[in-house]
Amino acid sequence: MILDLFLKKKCSHSKVPPQVEAGYCPDCGEYVENHWFLVRCKHCKIKRKSHLLGENVVPDTKFCPNCGGFLYEVEKLEKINFIDINFAALKREVVKIVKKFAPATTWVEEEETTQKLISAIN
């Protein structure tokens, strides 16, 4: 228990479902957005399997299995489909939500006006 205070573990948000665009993590309570990225060979444009390396999306292999090129480009997908699921990399980002409230207004009515309104209703 004492070691937990010194060794703070960063939440991986693994319980946020990958099929939703965003949601709250049940482990830490933070709001998490899911972003999908696809890696393509820059020369032949074929899809390559990819993974996250730190904060960067990189291909699994150094060279393209189709043409042998080493250059690649990363594109962000709006939505994932079942064809691209084997090639895409999932990146979860924490979003800070700032709630803004409308300012409250108050006023004081004179007692005579209130009495007139009450007598007009009756």
66-100 pLDDT, tens digit each = 999 999 999 999 888 888 889 999 999 988 877 76
Residue 7 lies in a domain: no
Residue 93 lies in a domain: yes
Residue 11 lies in a domain: no
Residue 30 lies in a domain: yes
Confidence of residue 114 (pLDDT cuts 50, 70, 90): low
- pTM score > 0.85 for this model? no
Write out the residue range of the structural domain in which residue 78 sits: 17-121
SS3 90: strand
Asked whether the predicted pLDDT for residue 41 surpasses 70, the reply is yes
Arithmetic mean of pLDDT over the chain: 83
Q: In Å, how far from its chain's centre is CA 97?
A: 11
Q: What residues contact 71, with CB distance under 8 A and at least 6 apart? A: 41, 42, 43
Residue 3 lies in a domain: no
Burial 38-61 (b: 16+ CB within 10 A, else e): bbbbeeeeebbebeeeeeebbbee
DSSP 60: S
- The number of domains in the chain is 1
Residue 74 lies in a domain: yes
| Cα maximum dimension of the chain | 90
Q: What percent of the chain has pLDDT over 70?
A: 75
- The pair of structure tokens assigned to 106 is 């108050």
Cβ count within 10 A of residue 74? 14
Residue 4 lies in a domain: no
